[in-house]
Structure 1
Amino acid sequence: MSDTDPDVDDEPQHRRTPGKGVSPEARPIEASVPEEFGLVQLFWGDGKGKTTAAMGMGFRAAGHGFRVHMLQFMKGGADSVDDVRGEYNAIAAMPGFSYENTGHYGWHALPDGSDETDHQNDAQAGLERAKELIAAAADADLTEPFDLEDPPEDGVHMLILDELLYAADRELIDPDTVQELVDTKPENLELVITGSHTKPDYLYDHVDLVTQIGKEKHPIDAGQRARRGTEY
C-alpha cells in the first residue's frame, strides 16, 4: 500500500497511466505550434518503410495542428506504378499537410523495368526548392501557429525531404550541399530526411536522430512489382 495514497494499489495498472486506460477520441484539428521542434532526423537503409515512417510522423504532426510540408526527390515512380499515389490523396485530405514532387517517371539506376531518363536537372531543382523552403522557414516565426491552408512559402514547422539521400548517394547532387542545407536550418524547424541504402556518414555530426531501416526479406528480390496500397 502507498503511504501517500492508500487506494492507488487497488487500481489496475492501466488506470494509472496518463490516459487512465481510456482510448482517446479524435478531436478537431486546429492550428497550433509545437513546443519542442527543431531536430534533424534521418531515415536510411535498404529496408522498406523510410518514406512511410517520415509521412507517418508528418501526419502525426499535422494532427496536432502543426504545418507540415513534404518535398520529394526522385519520386516520380516507375512503369509499374500508377500516376496517382495513395499518399498524395491522403495528404491532400489532411489539413496542414502539403507536398510537392520534383521527380518524374523512371527510377534512377533501379533494374525494375523502368524507362531511364536524365534525373540530374530534377534533383538540382529539388535542391534549390529545398533551400527556398528552409529560407522561408528561417524568415517566418516558427513559435506561432500557421493557417493550415497557408502555402509552404509562408513557413512550416516540419519539412520532410523525401529521397534526398538517394539523390546524394547517386551523385545527382553533391553530398556537401546536403550538409550545408542541414546547417542552414532555422532553430525551430523539424527537418526529416530520407533515402539511401548507403550509410550517410557525412551527416552524422550534423543531425540528432538516425534510424536505419534494414531489409531481412523483401518480395522485390523474387520479382514482385510495386503493389497499389503498399508501395504507392
Structure 2
Amino acid sequence: MIHIYYGDGKGKTTAATGLAVRAAGRDLKVLFVQFLKTMSTGERTSLKQLSNITLAPCPVELKFTFTMSEEEKENCARLMGEIFRVSAEKSIVGKFDMIILDELLTAVSLNMVSHAEVYEFLSNAPQTLEIVLTGHEVPEKFSVLADYITHFVNEKHPYQRGIPAREGIEF
C-alpha cells in the first residue's frame, strides 16, 4: 500500500519514523531513505539502533536548494535521481517490507527526481511492499495511486516568530 504524508505542517518525517518503528517492532524489514536532508537528525540516531531498519541518508552535504547555483542544482538532481533509482531497486531485491522515501515528494516538485520514474515505481511495486512518501506537495497522479493520504497543515509554528529549529524537536 502507498502512504502519502504531505503539506507545510510539521510532523511528516516524525509520522514516517513512527510507522518505521512500529513496523520494526513487528519484525518487518524497513528501508528508510532521506532525500535533500543531510544534517544529522534525532530520528537517525534512534533508527540506527533498530536492526531491521536500514538507513540511507543523503551521502553528501547539501545546501538548501534556494541557495544553490544552477550547476549545484543540476548536480543535486543527478544525485537525487540516482538515490531514488538505487533505493527503488534495493527495496525490491533486498526483500524489504516497507520503504520510506522521506522528502521524495519535495525532490519531485523541485524537478530533482523524475516524476515519471516515481510514478512507474509506484505503479509497479510489489503489492506486499508498503511505500511511504513525504514532502510538501503531492502530484495528482500519485494521489490516485495512494491508499493513505495525510495532509499536514501549518497553523502556527515558532519559526514564524523567529525561533530557529530546535535540536530534538524539529531535527
Give yes or no for TM over 0.5. yes
- 1:126 corresponds, among 78, 83, 91, to 83
**Pair 1:104-2:61 in alignment:** yes
Q: Quote how far apart the aligned CAs of 1:130 are.
A: 2.3
Q: Quote how far apart the aligned CAs of 1:100 are.
A: 0.9
Q: Quote how far apart the aligned CAs of 1:223 are.
A: 2.2
* Matched residue count: 165
- For residue 192 of structure 1, give the secondary structure of its aligned residue in structure 2: strand
**Pair 1:201-2:163 in alignment:** no
Q: Quote how far apart the aligned CAs of 1:132 are.
A: 1.3
**Pair 1:230-2:169 in alignment:** yes
- 1:161 corresponds, among 89, 98, 101, to 101
Q: Quote how far apart the aligned CAs of 1:222 are.
A: 2.4
Matched-pair identity in % = 30
Structure-1 residue corresponding to 2:132: 192
CA contact (8 A) 1:74 1:104 kept: no
CA distance in 2, matches of 1:178, 1:216: 30
CA contact (8 A) 1:43 1:213 kept: yes
**Pair 1:76-2:38 in alignment:** yes
- By percentage of residues, which structure has more helix? 2
Q: Quote how far apart the aligned CAs of 1:126 are.
A: 1.5
- By percentage of residues, which structure has more strand? 2
- 1:64 corresponds, among 26, 42, 53, to 26
- Structure 1 residues 21-36: aligned runs within 5 Å: none
Structure-1 residue corresponding to 2:47: 91
Q: Which has the larger radius of gyration?
A: 1
Q: Quote how far apart the aligned CAs of 1:174 are.
A: 2.3
The letter of the residue matching 1:94 is L
User: How big is each residue's C-alpha offset from its partner over 1:142-198, in whole Å with a ceiling of 9 and x where there is no partner?
Assistant: xxxxxxxxxxx3x111110110000001111222221111012111011111112x3
**TM-score (norm. length: structure 2):** 0.89
Q: Quote how far apart the aligned CAs of 1:105 are.
A: 3.0
CA distance in 2, matches of 1:131, 1:227: 32
Q: Which has the higher contact order (CA 8 A, sep 6+)?
A: 2
CA contact (8 A) 1:165 1:195 kept: yes
For structure 2, list consecutive stretches of 5 or more residues without a partner in the other structure.
none
